[in-house]
């Protein structure tokens, strides 16, 4: 059941010892995949350009070789298109364009909620946001929420997003993981890096009543 205002999937109170290896593996895969696609698309497109020149040179003298190169060009161009599409998705999730920041987070929250876990999202009255800020807020929120849901043992997770000079993202859970300390894992580093790229901050730490992730992102000029 989605209590109150539906929840949001913010890959969460990251860095807990429980499940940390799995979280690091997922984050590492995402980062490595992004970098590999970024490095891969450039050389592929460069190769396409060279082969296009070669086709032009061979059209009259060796049409068969030109046709063979054209077939290679099609395959390589399709590969580059797929890589670019995935890069665009990594930079800006389509849900942001479909539902906006609040709606996209509520959609993810509803997917994570269970009978024994309530996820609440408070994100009303947000102004129009710069695209980079919106994407970073979504990624940070999803990172924090997902880990809170998976690893904290919480019965409730609250996601609050508000704008007051800056965009503030807070994900708090009421879970405890006995005998496990918070560790500065890949997930926390990823959230901090996303915030720092925009000149913002992100902190993640346990508290007396559960874990809390808080990010503050500058909105820049309106």
For residue 4, pLDDT beyond 80: no
* Radius of gyration from C-alpha coordinates of the chain: 22
Domain of residue 105, residue span: 20-28+93-218
pLDDT value for 175: 81
Domain-embedded: residue 148: yes
Looking at 67, 91, 115, the residue that finishes a domain is 91
What are 34-52's pLDDT values in tens digits? Answer: 444 445 566 777 778 888 8
Q: CB of 121 within 8 A of CB of 140?
A: no
**pLDDT tens figures, 106-159:** 999 999 888 998 999 999 899 999 999 999 999 999 989 988 887 777 899 999
Greater model confidence, 196 or 93: 196
Query: 31: which 2 tokens?
Result: 């980062």
Residues 106 and 168 occupy one common structural domain: yes
From residue 208, give the alpha-carbon distance in Å to each of 151, 171, 177, 211: 17, 15, 12, 8
Q: Which of 40, 72, 91 is the last residue of a domain?
A: 91
Tokens of 182: 């918070």
Tell me what pLDDT residue 11 has.
Answer: 35
Q: What does the pLDDT average to over 48-60?
A: 84
């Amino acid at each position: 059941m989605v209590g109150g205002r539906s929840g949001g999937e913010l890959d969460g109170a990251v860095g807990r010892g429980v499940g940390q290896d799995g979280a690091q593996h997922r984050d590492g895969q995402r980062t490595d995949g992004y970098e590999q696609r970024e490095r891969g698309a450039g050389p592929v497109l460069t190769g396409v350009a060279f082969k296009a020149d070669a086709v032009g040179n061979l059209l009259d003298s060796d049409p068969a070789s030109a046709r063979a190169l054209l077939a290679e060009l099609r395959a390589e161009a399709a590969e580059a298109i797929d890589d670019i599409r995935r890069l665009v998705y990594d930079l800006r999730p389509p849900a942001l364009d479909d539902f906006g920041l609040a709606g996209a987070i509520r959609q993810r929250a509803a997917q994570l909620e269970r009978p024994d876990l309530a996820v609440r999202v408070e994100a009303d009255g947000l102004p129009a946001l710069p695209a980079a800020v919106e994407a970073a807020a979504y990624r940070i929120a999803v990172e924090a929420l997902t880990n809170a849901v998976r690893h904290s043992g919480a019965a409730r997770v609250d996601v609050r997003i508000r704008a007051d000079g800056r965009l503030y993202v807070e994900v708090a859970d009421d879970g405890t993981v006995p005998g496990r300390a918070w560790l500065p894992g890949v997930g926390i580093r990823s959230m901090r890096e996303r915030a720092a790229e925009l000149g913002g901050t992100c902190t993640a730490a346990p508290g007396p009543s559960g874990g809390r992730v808080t990010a503050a992102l500058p909105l820049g000029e309106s």
